[in-house]
Amino acid sequence: MANIFEGKTILVTGGTGSVGREIVRELLPMNPKAIRVLDIDETREFEMAHAFKKLDEGNKVRYLIGNVRDMERMKRAFEGVDIVFHCAAMKHVLACEYNSFEAVKTNVMGLQNVLDAALDANVEKFIFTSSDKAAHPSNVMGTTKLLGEKLVTAANYYKGSRRCVFASVRFGNVFGSRGSVVPLFKKQIAKGGPVTITDTKMTRFVMTLKHTLKLLFKATEIAHGGEVFVLKMPVLRIEDLADVMISEIAGKFAHKPAEIKKKTIGAIPGEKMYEELMTEEEALSALEANEMFILIPPALKDLFSIDTTRYANTKPAKYANYRSSDEKMMEKTEIKKLLVETGFLK
């Protein structure tokens, strides 16, 4: 992949989150001019600055306090920016269900603020981090993410002569990220159980942070404007993940695996039994590459001549729903390997 970040000023909103931190970590060796981390949590920014001190020997990272709901702050933060990764969002399903308009104010109105700021600053690339919950959404979080994708695509319709390219990347559960089920299971096992499972049939798409970033940067490189890049991901049963973690971790906390009980507690409001990468309707205008699908909204085709040759080695996607419940499940040995790779079996 070409180094499209060298000499560029890059802004990462929600930059102290799991994905945001990893974006910064991966970008620093690529010799950017500067990286601006924008977040509303000053404590986590302080902790991140301390953790990244050795990695950031060139003092290229700038830590900005600000809320995406504050348009005036966004205007200042975006001055001179070339590339934007928009990660700031309310992401927890339950929090969004019970604070619905707060989710709208951050995930929709806040997103429109950063889109407008990006247009005013004439940024080169703007990448919105979306979620597989945007496909056939059943909850507030997924609905705001779907609307977010539409807003990002629409920004390409009215950018005029600006150089801006706006696109979205849709991915699933980032394995072991803050708020994911992996650290929760680990804490429950450490206490001797029970390990709480919403449903034995529940399945999820998962990705490691490393794989997520590789494909996120690739999408940034090839984006033409308006696409939704849907990253291909392995699928696991939540119960299988719990079983592997109990088997591998219980002994580290002086517990016998057989003593750790599992408890089925039922799905939380808005939670689905399975997730979807894309719908049948989206698949009609999608291209398939080795590691991702590229959704080209029909309205985009009507407005622009899309040069699909820039997407190397692609073919039309199959007309189908890409559901986690229909995909091949990871074997327990594969889940164990994933846990080792991400450091959760230490």
Catalytic (active-site) positions:
133
- Return the SS3 of 43: helix
Residue 338 structure tokens: 């994933």
Beta-bridge partners for 86: 13, 128
CA 28 centroid distance within chain:
20
Neighbours of 302 (CB within 10 A): 7
> 140-173 burial, b if ≥16 CB within 10 A, otherwise e?
bbbbbbbbbbebbbbbbeebeebebbbbbbbbbb
Residue 308 structure tokens: 């699909």
Residue 51 structure tokens: 């953790």
Contacts of 125 (CB under 8 A, 6+ apart): 4, 82, 83, 84, 164, 165, 167, 220, 223
- 179: phi > 0 → left, psi -120 to 50 → alpha, else beta; which? left
Q: Report whether 60 contacts 32 (CB < 8 A).
A: yes
Residue in the block written with tokens 């695996």: 257
Q: Report which DSSP code applies to 313.
A: T
Q: Report whether 83 contacts 124 (CB < 8 A).
A: yes
d(CA 227, CA 168): 6
CA 132 centroid distance within chain:
9
Residue type, 290: N
d(CA 169, CA 172): 10
- Return the SS3 of 295: strand
Rg of the chain in Å (alpha carbons) = 20
